[in-house]
């Protein structure tokens, strides 16, 4: 199923881009944002391979031991379950915006200043964990886990299609469903649009609980305080770093607890700038030459291929093989983010990646000599200034 999702995602993304191009709206796709969005999505799909089964098991465990009742399998129950799933989503989503510890997991989804299908991929594994914990309510109430899992597939598929600007307002459907227009409002940074339209399929939860906002002026997408980084790691963990720093500065355990469970707007917004100045001092914009894009694209394609193969053959991989596969893909995604920021340390990351590949091949072939030669090669190239200079000329067109 997961292996099918990947080609389906890029098929619809290609259709969306084709429509945007025909309408002379290619500006809806920013190269750097698209790479960052897809990178986050690859990591989430990859890591979820190892935890999704655990959550399905958790659903069954909750159902078998703590279900309040046993709701029968009937067509009307499927309709009820769809509404219940969206209701749980509404509150998970709303709390994800209103409580700092949850916002740290969800904020990654709102980084992008684009609004297209690539943004739907900006889901972190941490967010997936929080979301699945909320959905444990459904088997607890009495819905059979197999039904819950099936509805979640439908629920997740629908939300993908609301992340686009090539579809306009949809008439009477706007009164019932979350549409691209409604969800675009949710991703907007204007004050009147903040914390609105939390539903995933149905809009009436927002109308019922006072969080509905119709699209009026064109949304400006992203955060109110934009993230000034394409770093793969910083995108994932910056908010928790900010929350940690805010707690450290508070000097009080009680105040720290209030911050952790407080609202994002109560956090000192200057902390992010301070941390970025300290931890990300070398950021510069890349020259998006054909060669640079090709170099990044090949790596994204390699990560996607790795994700697909890992998905297809996961049950046949040993723990060591799975560890190496995951490590290689994550290193590649980190490398892509660093490339977009013109970081110099990518040269050494390439060495680590090369050692990981050679270590894998050496392990599979039983050749320790091959790995020893690889270490020697890395040491040679890592200390050779001429090779390093050539590398940066090739990558950054220096």
47-56 pLDDT, tens digit per residue, is 888 888 888 8
For residue 35, pLDDT beyond 90? yes
- Judge if 301 and 272 occupy the same domain: no
- Judge if 268 and 294 occupy the same domain: no
The range of the structural domain enclosing residue 366 comes to: 290-396
Where do runs of H (alpha helix) occur along 31-111? 31-48, 52-66, 75-98, 100-106
Q: What percentage of the chain carries pLDDT values higher than 90?
A: 58
| Average pLDDT for 33-50 | 91
Is residue 242 classed as helix, strand or coil in its secondary structure?
A: helix
Question: End-to-end CA distance of the chain, in Å?
Answer: 44
- Judge if 308 and 242 occupy the same domain: no
Across the chain, mean pLDDT equals 90
C-alpha closest to that of 377 among 359, 389, 392: 359
Q: Residue 235: how many CA atoms within 13 Å on its side-chain side?
A: 30
pTM for this predicted structure: 0.90
C-alpha closest to that of 325 among 340, 346, 348, 307: 307
| Average pLDDT for 290-309 | 92
Beta bridge partners of 221: 188
- Judge if 199 and 239 occupy the same domain: no
In a domain, 227, yes or no: no
Task: Please give the pLDDT value at position 3.
Answer: 60
| Average pLDDT for 306-317 | 89
Q: In whole angstroms, what is the distance from residue 174 CA to residue 169 CA?
A: 7
Question: How many domains does the chain divide into?
Answer: 3
In a domain, 222, yes or no: no
Is-contact 112 38, C-beta < 8 A?
no
Structural domain ending residue among the three candidates 209, 244, 267:
209
Task: Please give the pLDDT value at position 287.
Answer: 77
pLDDT tens for each residue of 351-372: 888 888 887 888 777 778 877 8
Is-contact 112 118, C-beta < 8 A?
yes
- Judge if 243 and 104 occupy the same domain: no
For residue 95, pLDDT beyond 80? yes
- Judge if 255 and 343 occupy the same domain: no
Lowest mean pLDDT among 24-28, 167-171, 354-358: 354-358
Q: In whole angstroms, what is the distance from residue 47 CA to residue 17 CA?
A: 28
Cβ partners under 8 Å of residue 128, min gap 6? 44, 48, 51
């Amino acid at each position: 199923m997961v292996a099918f999702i990947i080609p389906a995602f890029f098929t619809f993304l290609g259709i969306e881009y084709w429509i945007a191009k025909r309408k002379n709206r290619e500006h809806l796709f920013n190269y750097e944002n698209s790479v960052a969005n897809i990178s986050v999505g690859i990591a989430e799909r990859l890591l979820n391979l190892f935890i999704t089964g655990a959550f399905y098991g958790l659903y069954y465990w909750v159902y078998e031991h703590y279900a309040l009742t046993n709701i029968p399998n009937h067509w009307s129950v499927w309709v009820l379950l769809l509404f219940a799933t969206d209701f749980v989503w509404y509150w998970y989503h709303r709390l994800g915006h209103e409580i700092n510890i949850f916002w740290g997991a969800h904020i990654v989804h709102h980084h992008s200043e684009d609004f297209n299908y690539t943004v739907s991929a900006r889901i972190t594994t941490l967010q997936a964990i929080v979301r699945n914990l909320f959905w444990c309510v459904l088997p607890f109430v009495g819905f059979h886990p197999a039904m819950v899992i099936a509805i979640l597939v439908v629920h997740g598929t629908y939300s993908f299609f609301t992340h686009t600007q090539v579809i306009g307002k949809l008439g009477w459907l706007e009164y019932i469903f979350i549409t691209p227009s409604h969800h675009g409002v949710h991703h907007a940074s204007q004050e009147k649009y903040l914390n609105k339209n939390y539903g995933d399929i149905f809009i009436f939860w927002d109308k019922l609980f006072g969080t509905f906002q119709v699209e009026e002026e064109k949304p400006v997408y992203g955060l109110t305080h934009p993230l000034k980084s394409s770093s793969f790691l910083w995108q994932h963990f910056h908010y928790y770093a900010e929350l940690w720093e805010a707690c450290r500065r508070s000097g009080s355990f009680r105040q720290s607890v209030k911050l952790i469970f407080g609202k994002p707007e109560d956090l000192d917004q200057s902390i992010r700038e301070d941390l970025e100045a300290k931890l990300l001092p070398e950021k510069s914009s890349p020259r998006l030459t054909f060669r640079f894009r090709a170099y990044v694209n090949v790596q994204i394609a390699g990560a996607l291929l790795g994700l697909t193969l890992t998905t297809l053959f996961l049950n046949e991989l040993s723990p060591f093989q799975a560890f190496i596969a995951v490590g290689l893909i994550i290193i590649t995604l980190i490398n892509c983010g660093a490339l977009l920021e013109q970081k110099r340390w990518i040269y050494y990351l390439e060495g680590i990646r090369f050692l990981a590949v050679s270590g894998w091949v050496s392990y599979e072939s039983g050749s320790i000599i091959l790995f020893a030669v690889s270490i020697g090669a890395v040491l040679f190239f890592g200390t050779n200034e001429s090779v390093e200079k050539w590398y940066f000329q090739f990558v950054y067109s220096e």
